[in-house]
Amino acid sequence: MMMSPSGPHTVLQVPAAPLAAAWGSDASRPSLLHLLPGAAGRMSVPAAGNKAWQSEGLNVPGAVVRQAEMERGTPWPQPLVSHYARYFRDGNRTAYEGLVAARQQRLTRAVVMALASNPGRRGANADEAEAWLDEVIDGAFLLCEQSSWSWAAHDDVFRRTGCVVPDLATPYLDLGAGEVAAQLAWLDHVLGEQLDDRAPGLRRRIREEVTARVIRPFLDRLDWHWLGLDGDVHNWNPWIHSNLIAAAVFLMDDPETQAHTVARCIEGLDRFLASIPADGAIDEGFAYWWNGAGRALEGLALLEQATGGVLDGGLPVVRELVAFPHRMHIGGAWFLNVADGPARAADALPWDMLHRWAVRLGDPEAAAHAAAMATGAPDPAAGLGRVLHTLLERQASASNAPPLVATTYLPSVQIMVAREAGGTADGLLLAVKGGHNGEHHNHRDVGSVVVAVDGVPLLVDAGQPTYTAQTFGPDRYGIRAMQSNWHSVPAPFGLEQGTGRDFAAGVLNAPTPERPQLELALGAAYGFEPQAWIRTAELQRAPGRITIADRWDLPVPPAGGTADVDITFLTAGTVGLGADGTATVRPDGIPAVDASARTQRGAALRWDPAAAVVLVDEWQLDDPLLADAWGPRLTRLRFRMPAAPSPAFRATGAFTLTVEATP
């Protein structure tokens, strides 16, 4: 039992720690005391005086330049206590977090402009360079003055004290605090000498604030939930630890504190990597891969560079992690979105980071995918560290075509993704998810299917709505996007799936590359025996057809259930019902589909019209994140079948939906 400032905390050891096994004593604090001196000079991102920043080929996007020039000299975004308090009053997160993000993104743009105006570059203007440096100084000092670096949604101040004002004496170390610390660390690294000349004392202030708000809380407390000491490891772990590594390497001048912090970060990252299954799957999905596994890869790269290659990050677990994003690719910017993930990739993803790892590890498919997705234009929303790396990236020669693998199956999460023909988004794609309802960022989606035509999802998972206090509270499943009734899954007797690991799928038959068919027992997701409901989803490549076949043998309806059996399919675009057991789903109205959508193919659905009554429910989307992905509405098709009991007082039946591409 270990003691923490918040009381006793039980520490459970997670087995099979890959970093400890690979690095041994090199990762210990005594060894790091000898390995870390001079670390800043070994980074692939150098300080401003380096010739890398004087290159005329430095890729500063015009949009960044225009935005930076427009905002320079104007008042900075000012998050106020009334914005902070809104989370505790009405559950709104975005009022505060949006202003904090705007402030940090402006500072990132200012750092980029200060580097681009470096006096060593041809045509650089000394007055301009000083003006941009002043912009950086102002933004950095504002962060130092900001009462809290944590996001209100994470801060425990209200729970502990009933106050809605940040507690300066007890800073909360969360994702937001880690991001600020890392941003200050990176700007100090690249512009440190200029800061000393232009604003003596600022760097000392930065170090004092980072030490008080981030480093000391990290070293002094063992009760942070994201440490993973209880065995529950999620994306906060690598996200915060990788930022702490940057803070320690660039800002901690005391060798003991620096080595202690980095050693603790290695232990934390090891708990995350030990939790990764052999197939490299992330149960939080593609979107959270970037702020989970992707952050771990960035932390490993920092450690490797800081120690001159002694701590080598090229481990087997990393090879599988690198492959996950392209295995979830549907086509274009569309990806399979499970849990709290949007269906389209964000604009600010550091594909160059993934490309570097894929090339290094010899994964040509992952490298081709990352090269095809990379824009080469850094987005300040990605964070300063990622932007600096992208600015200096010289994209390796690689195919511009993503691999679009024919069949993927990840047994640890029971996800199959299969397309009609490998190497192209044309034709049908079927994704099926088993899993359980105790996953991180869980939606009740056990047994769900996604179907795309020509790279555009038409039978869909709604994905992530805008986060509020409800999102991670006791009423989470009051949110429609999280409910099984609004996923493409069954609803026996109208029931919702349950929450927790016990509400799970069982794999009866796994797919093979030659036969992409996944057969799942879904009964346990609703509290029945596993084989009370069996779903078989298959992509038949030769005829170009998907079949989703359900059969059930259910006991009498439980209390609160209806007398009917429903099977739900959630669709995007425009739905047209036929009169003979047919329907079409076209991509018209999906914002990400360009004007040619009217000539693009849709999905043709077919079923036995005598088997079910079709009910149509429209979901008018007023949430900006959902509307951005899908347009004004999603449409739910509910196939309803009376649950006529058998002589043994059981409800039995079967239903099959086939999907083909429209001509």
What one-character-per-residue DSSP string does 207-219 give?
A: HHHHIIIIIHHHH
* pLDDT at res. 559: 79
What pLDDT was estimated at residue 123?
57
**Strand, helix or coil for residue 654:** strand
Output the pLDDT for position 394. Answer: 65
pLDDT for 433? 98
What are the C-alpha distances in Å from 602 to residues 619, 659, 663?
Answer: 20, 10, 8
Residue-wise pLDDT tens digits, 423-471: 999 999 999 999 999 999 999 999 999 999 999 999 999 999 999 999 8
Per-residue pLDDT at 257? 98
Q: Please name the amino acid found at residue 416.
A: M
Question: Which residues sit opposite 617 in a β-bridge?
Answer: 636
For the full predicted model, state whether its pTM sits above 0.85: yes
Give the CA distances from residue 9 to residues 1, 4, 227, 233, 250, in Å, rounded to whole numbers and listed in that order.
6, 7, 12, 16, 31
* pLDDT attached to residue 164: 94
Contacts of 445 (CB under 8 A, 6+ apart): 338, 339, 433, 435, 437, 461, 484, 487, 489
Low-confidence ranges of the chain (pLDDT < 50): 1-15, 396-398, 595, 597
| Long-range Cβ pairs for the range 555-563 (8 Å, 24+) | 555/528, 555/649, 555/650, 555/651, 556/645, 556/649, 556/650, 556/651, 557/493, 557/643, 557/651, 558/493, 558/495, 558/527, 560/495, 561/492, 561/493, 561/494, 561/495, 562/493, 562/494, 563/493, 563/642, 563/643
pLDDT for 120 equals 60
456 burial level (CB within 10 Å; 0-12, 13-18, 19+): buried
Beta strand pairing status for 329-331 and 7-9? unpaired
- As given in the structure block, the two tokens for residue 568 are 């739900």
The number of angstroms, rounded, from the C-alpha of 624 to the middle of its chain's C-alpha atoms is 18
